[in-house]
């Protein structure tokens, strides 16, 4: 279960999951470089600055990871909006898709030439269960994560003969700063499970080491995702009820 000798490039290393994952990767002896806008406190690896919320920042990050030539790229950085879609500011809509979808695609493009040359490498995209079960009031986040899931699947098929693994990991709700306030209240009202971040980080690290393909955390969510793919109308009624509960939070 060691990553000794592997250079890992990680985005989102300052968040509730990212900071823990950074320490876990180093504990497993990875040579870690974290790419982000703000340098995390108590960073266990090197830090290189780039803003994934702008097109220019994403291009800069792409140049950084290309020069680093990592063995493993982990696209973890993400932003979330909870609320009625019409209430999300246009600037935040753009940033949401840039951080959650465009950045992972561009950074993957940046590392692929060297990985193909070596006939080795791994790209890890951290999605969300909401990329398979499209929740109301998380519309832009859910749709961006659905795009990331589709990108991961298509890319995996494209590089299948190049020795490159593509790992897509979809956590359910996690008890971090993103789940505070209204999100936590909604989770309590709807019965949405929020996992301990340490458990999620351990599962992510195991999936990286094992070069797993698709990981969706949570047995009920895996079943729900399959039903949503096969018979979405069966899921509509449950999610409409959840939407009504969420509407109460916003007095709509």
Catalytic residues: 141
Reduced to 3 states, what is the DSSP secondary structure of residue 33? strand
Quick check: 103 and 60 in contact, CB under 8 A? no
Q: Where are the alpha helices (DSSP H) in 28-101?
A: 55-68, 90-97
Could you give the maximum distance between any two Cα atoms of the chain, in Å? 56
**Start-to-end CA span in the chain (Å):** 49
SS (H, E, C) 210-252: HCCCEEECCHHHHHHHHHHHHCHHHHHHHHHHHHHHHHHHCCC
């Amino acid at each position: 279960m060691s990553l000794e000798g592997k250079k890992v490039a990680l985005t989102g290393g300052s968040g509730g999951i990212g900071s823990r994952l950074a320490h876990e990767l180093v504990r497993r002896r990875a040579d870690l470089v974290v790419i982000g806008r703000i340098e995390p406190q108590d960073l266990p690896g090197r830090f290189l600055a780039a803003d994934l919320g702008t097109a220019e920042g994403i291009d800069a990050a792409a140049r950084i990871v290309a020069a680093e030539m990592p063995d493993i790229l982990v696209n973890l950085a993400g932003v979330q909006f909870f609320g009625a879609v019409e209430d999300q500011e246009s600037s935040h809509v753009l940033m949401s898709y840039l951080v959650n979808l465009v950045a992972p695609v561009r950074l993957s493009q940046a590392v692929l030439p060297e990985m193909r040359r070596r006939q080795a490498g791994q790209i890890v995209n951290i999605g969300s269960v909401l990329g398979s079960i499209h929740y109301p009031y998380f519309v832009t986040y859910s749709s961006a994560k659905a795009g990331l899931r589709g990108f991961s699947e298509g890319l995996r098929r494209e590089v299948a003969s190049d020795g490159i693994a593509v790992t897509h990991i979809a956590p359910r709700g996690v008890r971090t700063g993103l789940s505070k306030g209204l999100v936590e209240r909604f989770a309590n009202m709807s019965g949405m499970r929020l996992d301990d971040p340490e458990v999620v980080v351990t599962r992510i690290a195991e999936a990286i080491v094992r070069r797993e393909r698709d990981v969706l955390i949570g047995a009920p969510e895996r079943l729900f995702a399959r039903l949503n793919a096969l018979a979405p109308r069966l899921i509509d009624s449950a999610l409409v009820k959840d939407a009504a509960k969420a509407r109460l939070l916003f007095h709509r």
